[in-house]
Amino acid sequence: MKPSSLISSTEQPPLSRAESSSKTIILSTGVVVPFDADDRTSAEEEAFRSELSMLVTLDQLTPAKMKELGISEPSETLAEIPVTVKPSDFLLGVAEPAALGCRVMNPSSSAGDMNISRPQIVKSGTKIYAYARYNWKNAPFSGCPRNKSQIGGPDGLAITFNRGVTNKGVSFVGCNSYNLCQKTGWLETNNQYGAGWAFQDWGYGAIYGHSPTYKGTLTYTLTTSSTKCLQAFAKYGHSWNSTNLTGFSIGKSSIGISWNTSSSLWQKSSQAGSYRC
């Protein structure tokens, strides 16, 4: 799923309710959805939320794109995802292609090898979108077969809020280091305090960056009648060897991750993102 240009907009006064109700957005998939978030069906909203997740993951949710999508700008911007580290010339000279970066399971791969951005919170109509993003900083290397192989059991990404909200849907999009994106994984936990998404991460015979979950974004749509401060936190859980992520427990400002063993795993939390604070 590659991004494409969305419907263009020109400098003009804010749209009236009648004007925004008739305006549409063409998503990168070719799906056409109403510009006004409150006019979208459940299927249209899911398509819009997936588009938002993809744009965030690819560092393409610019102020101009946000205007085209009809969403407010967050109070702070995310740092750009660093350029993927490719195998060095030295490594390519001493290692067979099948031995490059198949799995992230060597001792040097740790929580420090991954970025977990503080969640961003934006608004469109009466809907609020909170999105949490992660990305691997590099492509760790270790021996592996040429074919596609699992990196341990499922990993997962979760988001939580400091108070209960009305849950309007959750989406996750994962991308590889070559910016090819897809929907992947499954919604593992979902309630008024947040959601957790699980997915299998993969290694390939060339470099780990081929994995469709090399980087990704979880987007949670909500509404709330409260005007009080809303904060969001995110956490990522990574496993290798025979360890599996078996579930999330999500409460007010809390994320717990369950595993089938107590080894070959790590967890990493984000800083807080905020809205109206």
Per the model's pLDDT, the better-predicted residue between 73 and 84 turns out to be 73
Task: Give the per-residue pLDDT at 176.
Answer: 83
Q: Is the dihedral of CA 136, 137, 138, 141 positive or negative?
A: negative
Task: Give the per-residue pLDDT at 83.
Answer: 47
Helix (H) and strand (E) counts in the chain: 4, 18
Summarize pLDDT for 174-207 with one digit per residue, the tens. Answer: 998 778 899 999 999 999 999 999 998 876 545 5
What the block records as the tokens of 51 is: 């588009």
Least confident of 95-99, 126-130, 222-226: 95-99
Rounded CA separation 32/37 (Å)? 13
Say yes or no to pLDDT of 11 above 50. Answer: no
Task: Give the per-residue pLDDT at 81.
Answer: 55
Percent of the chain clearing pLDDT 70 (strictly above): 73
Task: Give the per-residue pLDDT at 109.
Answer: 63
Per-domain boundaries in the chain: 23-275
Q: Are strands 24-26 and 265-269 parallel, antiparallel or unpaired?
A: unpaired
List b or e across 20-37, with b for residues whose CB sees 16 or more CB atoms inside 10 angstroms: beeeebebbeeeebbbbb
Say yes or no to pLDDT of 132 above 90. Answer: yes
For residues 214 and 174, the answer to whether their CB atoms sit within 8 Å is yes
Residue range 79-94: mean pLDDT, rounded? 46
Residue range 116-134: mean pLDDT, rounded? 95
Say yes or no to pLDDT of 71 above 90. Answer: yes
Task: Give the per-residue pLDDT at 74.
Answer: 82
Residue range 50-75: mean pLDDT, rounded? 93
Confidence class of residue 43 from pLDDT cuts 50, 70 and 90?
very high
Distance set, CA 6 to CA 18, 30, 66, 165 (Å)? 21, 9, 10, 30
Question: Which of these, 195, 206, 224, 193, lies nearest to 141 by C-alpha position?
Answer: 206
Question: Which of these, 165, 163, 222, lies nearest to 37 by C-alpha position?
Answer: 222
Least confident of 13-27, 96-110, 141-155: 96-110
Task: Give the per-residue pLDDT at 88.
Answer: 41
- When mean pLDDT is compared over 21-35, 86-100, 104-118, 197-211, the highest value belongs to 21-35
Question: Which of these, 99, 131, 100, 98, lies nearest to 116 by C-alpha position?
Answer: 131
pTM of the model: 0.81
Rounded CA separation 197/190 (Å)? 9
Share the mean pLDDT of the chain: 80
Confidence class of residue 84 from pLDDT cuts 50, 70 and 90?
very low
3-state secondary structure of 230: strand
* CATH number of this structure's domain 23-275: 2.60.40.740
For residues 32 and 44, the answer to whether their CB atoms sit within 8 Å is no
For every residue of 55-73, which 3-state class applies, written as one string? HHHCCCCCHHHHHHHCCCC
Per the model's pLDDT, the better-predicted residue between 92 and 163 turns out to be 163
Per the model's pLDDT, the better-predicted residue between 2 and 250 turns out to be 250
